[in-house]
């Protein structure tokens, strides 16, 4: 697997014009997995020009035919799922079962969107004038720039690239620099499925170089970005100045609410999975546990016991429950928040430090952490840490729980555990989030439903579901007047005869 990889531009695998590369590092072992291009603005320009050349012919391919290529890609992903999952675990660190789920999500999304190739529905509507027909159809936008993060290195690209393609757009894809191998596998699969040259282009490199260039280069009509709120805000500002469309999926500070009447065993399973799955490196991670006072002590004690037992290690080891975080920078960031917690008066009930025992010292491992004595306004309860850390906040009522849940800058996911259906529906009503779970954790979205959030989580668009088609297509309204005379809307209004 170790080797030198290339960009994919205009249907060819090419070296970066910068002639620079960088190593792709296994975060569990420090092993170099390969060398990838450290691309710059000139590489991006060439990719955009290739996408522009391909656009006119690709948009004219009937949508069902475009979809057939995507369906073939899904079939290839099925065959290579295990291979791609193992390579994903090696470059990203998540345990193998989760990596399989990541590839499966790309499979599911590709199958689902391929089906939409025969359902790119518009609509008809009655005209207000006689002998006149009115309808709306979708049309592609043009060249789309897709910028994706490292935590779901195949799933999230599929959320963007696949719907963009089925709508008739061409794409320039800039994957996260930490996980380029999964992006290579994804693009190579689409190439082998028969995607024409220039329709999909991939430029590998760092965000401040290749990513920034993709946002600013002329010819890109839409930027679809998933990443931090800080970078997403910069992307939005640049796109506004340049008159480009932008779809943003950013951070989260998600909470699981546990009421006194909850099934505690079920709630604990959901908390552990949601807080520590993918080492907490999910925008949907449960980084807050809001628990009603009557069960707070028992739940906290049991949660700490569960967290302490989690086995850290290489994600390829079937006994591993928690892999490394992505890189040293992220490891330092998480560790820095422990000092913030202490300064604000929170108590580190378990974890709270880098794991340096034995083989763990070779990678970027942080011990699963539970913070107690937390107040809603603390930074550790407001800011996205993006690591295996969750904060326990005690409340007295459902109403207080709902207020605390909403009192953060983000609004992606909320969850509640209760046996009372009335309380569940009240919480659903009060939660200002894009997704709500009842008696389930905060992770587990499905591809045929819209994904996204409110406030600083995004800018109102949704990924997945048929709603994603609105991001990657334009509406065209068509009027056909067969009256044989001039008819003026809103002016030539014939009276309605009564009786």
Amino acid 2: pLDDT? 77
In a domain, residue 450? The reply is: no
CA distance 377 to 344: 10
Quote the CA–CA distance of 336 and 332 in Å, as a whole number.
Answer: 6
Q: CA–CA separation, 407 vs 204, rounded Å?
A: 38
Mean pLDDT (whole number) for 134-147: 98
* Low-confidence winner among 138-142, 284-288, 494-498 (lowest mean pLDDT): 494-498
The verdict on 334 and 474 lying in the same domain is: no
pLDDT at 292 over 90: yes
Residue 150: CATH number of its domain:
3.40.605.10
Q: What is the domain count for the chain?
A: 2
Q: What is the three-class DSSP state of 277?
A: helix
Q: Is the pLDDT score of 39 beyond 90?
A: yes
Encoded tokens for 341: 């917690």
Predicted local confidence at residue 21, as pLDDT:
98
Same domain, 154 and 175: yes
pLDDT of residue 1: 63
Contacts of 86 (CB under 8 A, 6+ apart): 96, 99, 316
Q: Tell me how far CA of residue 90 lies from CA of 275, 326, 447, in angstroms.
A: 22, 11, 25
Q: What is the mean pLDDT of the segment spanning 447-473?
A: 97
283 an active-site residue?
A: yes
320 with 406, same domain: the answer is yes
Whether pLDDT at 259 is above 90:
yes
Largest CA distance in the chain: 92
Whether residue 338 sits in one domain with residue 214: no
Say if residue 193's pLDDT is above 70.
yes
Mean pLDDT confidence for 174-189 = 98
Question: Could you tell me if residue 393 is inside a domain?
Answer: yes
Q: Residue 12: how many CA atoms within 13 Å on its side-chain side?
A: 8
Q: Are residues 75 and 143 in the same domain?
A: yes
Domain boundary among the residues 390, 407, 438 is at 438
| Overall average pLDDT of the 268-283 stretch | 98
Report the alpha-carbon distance of residue 86 to residue 92 in Å, rounded: 10
How confident is the model over 441-451, as a mean pLDDT? 97
DSSP string, 28-81: TT--EEEEEE---HHHHHHHHHHHHHHHHHHHTS-HHHHHHHHHHHHHHHHHTH
Among the options 49, 249, 463, 466, which is catalytic?
Answer: 249
Q: Is the pLDDT of residue 493 over 90?
A: no
**Confidence at 198, pLDDT banded by 50, 70, 90:** very high
DSSP conformation letters of 356-408: -SGGGGGS--B--EEEES--TTSGGGTS---SSEEEEEEESSHHHHHHHHHSS
Residue 443 maps to a domain: no
Tell whether 352 is covered by a domain. Answer: yes
- Across the range 436-462, mean pLDDT stands at 97
491 is a domain residue: no
Give residues with Cβ within 8 angstroms of 90, minimum separation 6: 1, 26, 28, 31, 33, 181, 315, 316
Residue 495: pLDDT over 80? no
Tell me, yes or no, if 146 is annotated catalytic.
no
Catalytic residue among 239, 283, 350, 381: 283
d(CA 416, CA 255): 8
Helix (H, G, I), strand (E, B) or coil at 40: coil
74 and 93 co-located in one domain: yes
**Given the structure tokens 């004219």, which residue do they identify?**
60
- Residue 472 has which token pair? 């990657």
Residue pair 13/44 in contact (Cβ under 8 Å)? The answer is: no
The residue segments making up the domain with residue 101 are: 7-250+458-478
Give per-residue pLDDT as tens, 357-370.
Answer: 999 999 999 999 99
Tell whether the model's pLDDT for residue 246 goes beyond 90.
yes
> Average pLDDT for residues 34-60, to the nearest whole number?
98
Which whole-number Å values give the CA distances from 329 to 37, 150, 178, 376, in the listed order?
Answer: 21, 14, 12, 27
DSSP 196-231: PTTSEEE----IIIIIHHHHHSTTEEEEEEES-HHH
Nearest Cα neighbor of 437 from 424, 454, 455 is 424
| Mean pLDDT score across all residues of the chain | 97
Rounded to 5°, the CA angle 89-91-97 comes to 10
Residue 269 DSSP SS3: helix
* pLDDT mean over 229-239: 97
Determine how β-strand 347-350 pairs with β-strand 369-372. antiparallel
User: Is 246:222 a contact under the CB 8 Å cutoff?
Assistant: yes
**Across residues 332-340, what is the average pLDDT?**
98
- The residue among 353, 352, 348, 384 whose CA lies nearest residue 255 is 384
pLDDT of residue 499: 64
CATH of the domain at 416: 3.40.309.10
Length of the chain: 499
């Amino acid at each position: 697997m170790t080797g030198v990889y290339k960009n994919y531009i205009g249907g060819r695998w090419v070296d970066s014009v910068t002639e620079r590369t960088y190593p792709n590092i296994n975060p569990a072992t420090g092993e170099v997995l390969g060398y990838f291009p450290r691309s710059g603005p000139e590489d991006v320009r060439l990719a955009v020009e290739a996408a522009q050349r391909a656009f006119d012919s690709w948009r004219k391919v009937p949508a069902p035919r475009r979809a057939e290529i995507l369906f073939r890609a899904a079939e290839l992903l099925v065959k290579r799922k295990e291979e791609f999952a193992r390579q994903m675990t090696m470059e990203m660190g998540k345990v193998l079962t989760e990596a399989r789920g990541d590839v499966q999500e790309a499979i599911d999304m590709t199958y689902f969107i391929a089906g939409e190739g025969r359902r790119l529905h518009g609509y008809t509507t009655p005209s207000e004038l006689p002998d006149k027909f009115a309808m709306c159809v979708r049309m592609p936008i043009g060249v789309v720039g897709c910028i994706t993060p490292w935590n779901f290195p195949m799933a999230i690209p599929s959320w963007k690239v696949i719907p963009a393609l089925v709508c008739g757009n061409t794409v320039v894809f800039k994957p996260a620099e930490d996980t380029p191998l999964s992006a290579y596998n994804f693009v190579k699969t689409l190439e082998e499925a028969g995607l024409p040259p220039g329709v999909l282009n991939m430029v590998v490199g760092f965000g401040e170089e290749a990513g920034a260039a993709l946002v600013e280069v002329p010819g890109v009509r839409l930027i679809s970005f998933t990443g931090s709120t800080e970078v997403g805000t910069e992307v939005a500002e640049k796109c506004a100045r340049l008159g480009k469309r932008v779809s943003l999926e950013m951070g989260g500070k998600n909470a699981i609410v546990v009421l006194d009447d909850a099934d505690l065993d079920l709630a604990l399973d959901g908390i552990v999975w949601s807080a520590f799955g993918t080492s907490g490196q999910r925008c949907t991670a449960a980084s807050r546990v809001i628990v009603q006072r009557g069960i707070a002590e028992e739940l906290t004690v049991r949660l700490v016991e569960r967290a302490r037992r989690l086995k850290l290690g290489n994600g390829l080891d079937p006994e591993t429950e928690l892999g490394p975080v992505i890189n040293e920078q992220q490891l330092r960031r998480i560790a820095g928040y422990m000092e913030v917690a202490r300064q604000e008066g929170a108590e580190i009930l378990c974890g709270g430090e880098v794991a340096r025992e034995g083989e763990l010292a070779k990678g970027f491992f942080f011990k699963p952490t539970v913070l107690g004595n937390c107040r809603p306004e603390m930074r550790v309860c407001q800011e996205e840490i993006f690591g295996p850390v969750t904060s326990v906040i005690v409340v007295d009522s459902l109403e207080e729980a709902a207020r605390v849940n909403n009192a953060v800058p983000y609004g992606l996911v909320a969850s509640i555990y209760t046996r009372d259906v009335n309380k569940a529906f009240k919480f659903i009503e009060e939660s200002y989030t894009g997704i709500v779970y009842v008696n389930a954790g905060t992770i587990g979205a499905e591809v045929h439903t819209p994904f996204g959030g409110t406030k600083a989580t995004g800018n109102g668009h949704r990924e997945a579901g048929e709603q994603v088609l609105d991001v990657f297509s334009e509406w065209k309204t068509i009027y056909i007047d067969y009256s044989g005379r001039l008819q003026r809307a809103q002016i030539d209004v014939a009276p309605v005869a009564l009786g």
